[in-house]
Amino acid sequence: MKLRLIALSSADHPPLASGLQAQQSGRCRFTVRCAALLVLLGLKMSLAVAQSAAQPPPLSVSTTPSVSDPISYVDRLLDNGQFSEMAADDEQNTINVNGLPRSIRIELQRSRTLSNGSATSSGTGLAIRAALDTPNFGSLTLDTQLGANQRVSSTDNASIRPTTLTLQQIGLPLGAGWFANNVLGILGPTQVGLARQQLRFSIPSRTIEGISTELMSPDGMAITATLGELGQLEGFPISGFRRAGGQFAQAGGQWRSSLAGNGGTLTSAVTTAIARNAPNDLGIGLRVDNKLGVYTQPPSKANFDSVLMAQRYERDGLAVQANVIRSSSTANGITQAGNGWWIDAAQEIGRTRHSFGIFSLGTGLNWGGLAVNSDVEGGYYRFSYQSLRWSADTAIEALRSVSGNASPGQFINSNLRYQWSRDVSFGGGAAIRSYNGTGSQIFAYVQSQNGFGTGRAQMDLSNATTGERTQAITLDQSWNEITPLTLSTSLSYAHQQGIAQKRESASLSLNGGVEPFNNFSLNANIQSRYTLSGPVDNALYATVGLTWRFNRQWSFSGNATVGSGRYDSGVISLDPLASPLSTITRPNQRTYLLILRYEDRAGTVITPIGGRAGGGGGAVAGYVYFDANANSLRDANEAGVPSVAVILDGRFSTRTDALGRFEFPFVGSGDHVISVVSDNLPLPWNLINEGTTRITVSPRATLQINIPAVRTP
């Protein structure tokens, strides 16, 4: 019997963030620099281990496998009812199977952006991502970006040369079942589990340059710590980090205990965030001049302190969680403090799920300098039902202002869906709000499998809290795949009636791809809006890209993007506790990007990621996207969710890019679990099944999956 070895690469785990630094500091960051050197030395030592001392033992092949010996995987071909071994692929023959699994990707990038006919930014960048999977040091990922001749539009018209580094380590074994996850460089602070496990409220996350660690035990205990400097991501294609000034620290702990004689579990957590000399985005320290009767300008910097305590009880499908938050902010000699609490509960009974809670959030609450829900109290109840034909959910909420600045009100949301037949379903819903403004939304749709694919027709009627009324009809179609073409389209007509004007417009969205030749692909995404009558409000956003892989390791890709006009960042929501959705206005802008990429992988292990000894492997790729119409299909006008963590089997992680895409390039064949961490999802968006998707990977195949985020009722 001939055993075919297939090289295993650790999953490509891009770090949480990385980028160029748009304002060069005159002094070195001593702490981060020294830590980076130490980590690089550790990576170098691990690479040496991978090449020599840590060689995995050879696979033993036996024609009569025993119970204790794993069955070796062999590619076989069914020919005239008989199995025969398949010829080895040339690609697999060229892979070096010696040492631990490792991969590298190097990209030479060149970009140029034109706004209103003039170049506003350009630059050349070198991006390097390297991954190494070790048995003793966890999974290591290095991400560094180097920029040359980088030019951006700014007040000082400065040229900058960004150099950044991010190193991620996942699954470092510490003994006694403990393990650690560490990140150095540009990152988002790691939060304890109970702070993420919220039904109605969320804790915002900052972007910093620093270091973060997470220690976890098998019995549910966790310790997290983050330290660094505040900033924000900017730049393209070398997306990077602009320092905003100010220091940020966050620490937390979580532990779990079983209740004797009760059968339930009790989980407790506490976490705190501290920001010093941070940007004063909340306007703290505003003073009134009593003589002139005018307001003075608040200072640009402030100090912020926040602490959250949570306790969760679980037993037989019942979960109850109590949360207490306290925060304070100080600037210009003025201190503003806030207190709040909320209790959530959920109970699953058969096909129904009941959720309810009460909350009271005082004024002036923040988390590390970022605003959270404040000046509101009330209660809510949610009901959901799921069967083979019916699905329904309803939410009822009563609210009032703690300070009395708003009149008491209500928010009601309900949705219903019925599967008429195997190919046809109907549905609709409504939302009514009468708190801090009144508004309503009503929609109805029919979805069917037809001869061309899957189609959906939907009608929307809405009355925004600003008084604007909209009627819209949308036709979505996911066309049957005709090799080598994939295509989905969305066409809509909208009539808007404002206070003093009205407008009619038509929108067309298209998303598709084609592979006319081997190793050559062409993709396009177009979103456009054209004004039929009334004040002109046209918009266009189109991206066209091509990729040519001229051998196993080298590829070339080019992208062109054209954008202009005003875009809504998402579906308008009446939820009074949701973060407001901003409107993005793009100038008349064109961007060109060229990428020359080299990538390779090597090494093998006894057991692939989640697979069995000697097993084959495939790839996993997909999107996390905003499923605006909740049809579990990624329509052409539905945007991806950027910068959320996607985790394979609880260990190997990556992050979605700006379009919501993610990829694990080599995964062992068999069953796996994909989970998405929803830290960066704005309310009222949430993930189905708590962001968990079960998949099965086949040898030499790429599994494409789409993970929807839906609006919580």
Is the pLDDT assigned to residue 603 strictly greater than 80? Answer: no
Expressed as residue numbers, the domain containing 99 is: 7-54+84-244
Is the pLDDT assigned to residue 621 strictly greater than 90? Answer: no
pLDDT of residue 406: 85
pLDDT one-digit tens code per residue, 455-485: 999 999 998 877 789 999 999 998 887 767 8
Contact 647, 687 (CB under 8 A): no
Contact 389, 418 (CB under 8 A): yes
Average pLDDT, integer, range 675-704: 73
Domain boundary among 244, 269, 303: 244
Q: Quick check: is 49 in a domain? A: yes
Read off the CATH number of the domain in which 614 is found. 2.60.40.10
Contact 159, 631 (CB under 8 A): no
Measured in degrees and rounded to the nearest 5, phi and psi for residue 74 equal -130, 130
Q: Quick check: is 18 in a domain? A: yes
Is the pLDDT assigned to residue 355 strictly greater than 80? Answer: yes
Measured in degrees and rounded to the nearest 5, phi and psi for residue 44 equal -65, -40
pLDDT of residue 25: 39
Q: Quick check: is 165 in a domain? A: yes
Would you state the structure tokens that stand for residue 582, as one six-digit string?
């901003």
3-state secondary structure of 210: strand
Q: Quick check: is 294 in a domain? A: no
Average pLDDT, integer, range 292-308: 81
Would you state the structure tokens that stand for residue 379, as one six-digit string?
């209660």
* Rounded Cα–Cα distance for residues 500 and 496 (Å): 11
Is the pLDDT assigned to residue 294 strictly greater than 60? Answer: no
* Rounded Cα–Cα distance for residues 598 and 345 (Å): 51
Percent share of the chain, pLDDT over 70: 73
pLDDT of residue 609: 44
pLDDT of residue 276: 94
Query: Is 251 or 520 the better-scoring residue by pLDDT?
Result: 251
pLDDT of residue 664: 76
pLDDT one-digit tens code per residue, 105-141: 898 988 888 876 666 677 788 888 888 888 888 888 8
Q: Quick check: is 693 in a domain? A: yes
Would you state the structure tokens that stand for residue 504, as one six-digit string?
């009619």
Percent share of the chain, pLDDT over 90: 29
At CA 492, angle to CA 490 and CA 495, rounded to 5?
Answer: 165
Domain boundary among 244, 276, 306: 244
**How many domains, in total, are found in the chain?**
2
pLDDT one-digit tens code per residue, 261-283: 677 899 999 999 999 999 988 88
Please tell me the pTM assigned to this model: 0.73
Q: Quick check: is 115 in a domain? A: yes
Q: CA-CA-CA-CA torsion for 604, 609, 614, 620, nearest 10 degrees? A: -100
pLDDT of residue 668: 67
Query: Is 570 or 117 the better-scoring residue by pLDDT?
Result: 117
Domain boundary among 244, 269, 298: 244
Band (pLDDT 50/70/90 cuts) for residue 42 is: very low
For the chain, what is the mean pLDDT?
A: 77
Would you state the structure tokens that stand for residue 486, as one six-digit string?
């994939």
Average pLDDT, integer, range 188-202: 81
Q: Quick check: is 514 in a domain? A: no
**What is the residue-wise DSSP string for 169-225?**
EEEEEEETTEEEEEEEEEE-----HHHH--SS-------EEEEEEEEE-TTS-EEEE
Measured in degrees and rounded to the nearest 5, phi and psi for residue 36 equal -65, -40
Average pLDDT, integer, range 436-453: 90
Q: Quick check: is 486 in a domain? A: no
